A and B are shown apart, each in its own frame.
Chain A
Amino acid sequence: LQLQESGPGLVKPSETLSLTCNVSGDFITSSGYFWGWIRQPPGKGLEWIGSLYYSDNTDYSPSLKSRVTISVDTSKNQFSLMLTSATAADTAVYYCARQVTGPTDPFDVWGPGTMITVSS
């Protein structure tokens, strides 16, 4: 199983940050797997953004819930992150990752990460 994030690299303040995670080596619809987004701002720790199951079960960080949408495209075997009203505080390395049996599980497979900078 391999995960690969893709995104614009640079996002302007107030715009929507959009990222995609391509899943290869297994089906995103495989039974029990949850798929999540995590970020790490420069010099800071890891922050969970949210997780989803392919059949529309999603959980979001309370601190980001009002701005975040995580969705899945089973036909492309990928899932996506949208974060609205971006600010400099959203500048971070963004990772996608897999949870084996549910949102309470640890992330056992991670993508390499993609750096997103929010700046004008």
Chain B
Amino acid sequence: SYELTQPPSVSVSPGQTASITCSGPKLGEKYISWYQKKPGQSPLLVISHDTKRPSGIPERFSGSNSGNAATLTISGTQPMDEADYYCQAWDSGALVFGGGTKLTVL
């Protein structure tokens, strides 16, 4: 089965740029979405189809995808961005989530 690999944790200082990666074989040939998950809340879609920001998502969130890796970039990271982030793709009839990355803003 297809697997998406994310780093368990990423740390960033407020105002700096955070990059969270998601890797998998030929990932650039698939569409990637990214979700933000805070404790006690439902997941929030922040990036769809590699680069699209849904309505209401701040411009500081952006995405890219090529080769074997996708990246979620948060520019000017704010304390409110501290959360778990999950990538998601579809492969061979199954929807797959990455293991998640805990973003710490400190």
A contact set with B: CB distance below 8 Å: 36, 38, 40, 45-48, 51, 59, 61-63, 95, 103-108, 110-113
**What is the CB-to-nearest-CB distance from B25 to chain A, in angstroms, rounded to a whole number?**
17
- B37's nearest neighbour on chain A, judged by CB, is A46
Q: A106-B33, A106-B45 are in contact. List 13 more A-B contacts (CB 8 A).
A: A45-B98, A46-B43, A46-B86, A48-B97, A61-B94, A63-B1, A95-B42, A95-B43, A103-B95, A106-B35, A107-B35, A111-B42, A113-B42
Residues of B within 8 Å of A40, CB to CB, are: 37
Give the distance in Å from the alpha carbon of A34 to the alpha carbon of B45 in the complex.
16
Q: Known contacts being A59-B94, A62-B94, A111-B42, is A45 close to B86, with CB within 8 Å?
A: yes
CB distance from A99 to the nearest CB of B (A): 9
Partner-A contacts on B (CB < 8 A): 1, 31, 33, 35, 37, 42-45, 48-49, 54, 84, 86, 88, 90, 93-100
**Given A45-B97, A62-B1, does the pair A104, B31 have CB atoms closer than 8 Å?**
yes
- With a 10 A CB-CB cut-off, give which of B93, B94, B98 has the most chain A CB atoms: B94
Name, among A40, A46, A95, A108, the residue most crowded by chain B CB atoms within 10 Å (CB to CB): A46
B94 touches A48 (CB 8 A): yes
User: B32: shortest Cβ distance to chain A, in Å?
Assistant: 9
CB neighbours of A111 from chain B (8 A): 42
Min distance, Cβ A38 to any Cβ of chain B, angstroms: 8
Assess whether B42 is in contact with A112, with CB atoms less than 8 Å apart.
yes
- With the chains together, A61 CA to B86 CA distance in Å? 17
